[in-house]
Structure 1
């Protein structure tokens, strides 16, 4: 049996000397070391050897196998070196040709917008919070003073998972979670995905929102108008016009919507702003006393304001985009504009 192993080793050495291509080397490797190879066949004969000689045969077989594998590795390295040298002799490199263009990706415009706003409010001393996208109706509606018959609770407007569990319709639940854990005075913002059953050129079923909250003993309506106006001017430029309109929200009183001059038509009127020259950017107002009571904050001592804005709408204003659906079509030509 030992003679078979020695003879196989000699044959492999002779055959390796004749190999001149990687393909032939691979074929020889399979023929010798493969599942049906010659060395494998010899190893299978171990069962026919007397028990007291099997250890000696196994040791010898492993030594031969290691030597054969080493010879294969040496031959492989020699072939690769020869192929590389031949390629260098024949290949011509024209250093005058222009280099290959490297395609570099960029942050999505919504991600860029969220980053800008996060930075602005961090500089203003706000905490930045995150929360669950699958939310309890208590945090999403009840604690925010939404009545049981409010339209947003309808199955056609919200995505319910269970009777008391749904995909959050706004990031406002984080205001409740935050107030239950903190004692005023404080200020915070929360950014993330929200979900509503709506789809047109200015709405998508999934979109991004940012909520803000500031509570203290002397926080006034004038404070939040000044803060939000400053935010808009820092984001869009000092010349961007803004206006506040009276509105109603269940969780704020008094309430107001904030409009920003349309970035597409610059106030002249277009389909993005429905020919008004303005785009509603956020809803805001002084936090309703009922909301403060719900989270254990004394409304006779503390007051504050809250606001919420859609990131897609803000990005439309920032970058002059006229169709919100373009964000999610994954058209590289569109995304390349924001490098």
Structure 2
């Protein structure tokens, strides 16, 4: 008995252990043959013989079960060791996507105005002449139309040249107070270092009943917005002309590259033009049926802001899909 248990304990693998099990409990196994002797034994000897045999059988089964568990654990450990990987090794860098710099900039601008309780409004890309020009104090043959090289689809339809038509549609559909921005794509026939046929604008409009809104409100809003976008910069307002605002101003910031001392980017002036703004012209309010209201409006090019924020020298590179540029924004 001890010799058999010793043989079981010295088994080197499951296959060897299974052969021992078969030699003991198979049809011709040692224990099976011992049990077959019971039929020829006297009745008074069968009970003691059977008890002793069952005890040996239990001991052998227990030894085989313990050894089997031991060998299975060893096999599992060997298998895990063979299939293991070193998680500390560096893997090849996986290519991951990223937001486009124009979308990053647009999201940042939108987040600011949402925090100031501005709503986001949208409108059609294909506009009619009234909403794109006439309602904005640009009647037919007005010389200011030459400021915007327009894509016409026919005599009455065109690709919007700015997002201002969304302001008109919003005023047509609702009454003051209005506090909104309208981000989106616009189209003009132009293509050079600082212009593309399609680009993005965000325009804002605030309208209140009576004379609650003044140029001072516009100035406060834009100064805080530009400092949010560019940090501690100086802001100045220069008189300008836009048909839909009066008075109208161009807004500049101190150059973020030379800190106002003068460099190639700012043409050695120390200032960068970033957006246009003004108090809404009364003629615009009359076009939408508004009376006794006041308001201001502003507009900016998202690509212009993206170029300044991310030091991109050529506007066209934002639309060429060059991975060398886009991968920098992962």
Please report the TM-score for the alignment, with normalisation by the length of structure 1.
Answer: 0.68
The yes-or-no answer on 1:260 pairing with 2:249 is no
- What residue number does 2:221 align with? 227
Does the 8 Å contact 2:262/2:269 carry over to 1?
A: yes
Could you list the per-position Cα deviations for residues 262-283 of structure 1 after superposition, in whole angstroms to 9, with x for gaps in the alignment?
3344434444433433222111
- What residue number does 1:330 align with? 321
**CA positional deviation for 1:148:** 1.9
Could you list the per-position Cα deviations for residues 80-109 of structure 1 after superposition, in whole angstroms to 9, with x for gaps in the alignment?
xxxxxxxx9xx9876364212112211011
Q: How many residues align?
A: 248
**1:162 partner SS:** coil
**2:153 partner SS:** strand
**CA positional deviation for 1:338:** 2.1
> 1: distance between equivalents of 2:233 and 2:154?
44
- What residue number does 1:293 align with? 286
- What residue number does 2:14 align with? none
> 1: distance between equivalents of 2:328 and 2:143?
38
> 2: distance between equivalents of 1:289 and 1:280?
26
Query: RMSD in angstroms over aligned alpha carbons?
Result: 2.2
Could you list the per-position Cα deviations for residues 130-164 of structure 1 after superposition, in whole angstroms to 9, with x for gaps in the alignment?
11111111000000001322356459811110111
- What residue number does 1:64 align with? none
Does the 8 Å contact 2:189/2:197 carry over to 1?
A: yes
1:214 pairs, out of 189, 206, 214, with 206
> 2: distance between equivalents of 1:270 and 1:182?
46
Could you list the per-position Cα deviations for residues 98-122 of structure 1 after superposition, in whole angstroms to 9, with x for gaps in the alignment?
2121122110111011111111111
Does the 8 Å contact 1:202/1:272 carry over to 2?
A: no
- What residue number does 2:306 align with? 315
The yes-or-no answer on 1:249 pairing with 2:249 is no
Could you list the per-position Cα deviations for residues 219-274 of structure 1 after superposition, in whole angstroms to 9, with x for gaps in the alignment?
1100000001111111111x112111000110000010101233344434444433
Structure with greater Cα Rg: 2
Does the 8 Å contact 1:264/1:322 carry over to 2?
A: no
Does the 8 Å contact 1:264/1:321 carry over to 2?
A: no
Please report the TM-score for the alignment, with normalisation by the length of structure 2.
Answer: 0.70
| 1:1-339 equivalent positions in 2, closer than 5 A | 95=86, 97-151=89-143, 153=145, 157-216=149-208, 217=210, 218-237=212-231, 239-298=232-291, 301-339=292-330
- Give unpaired runs (5+ residues) of structure 1: 1-87
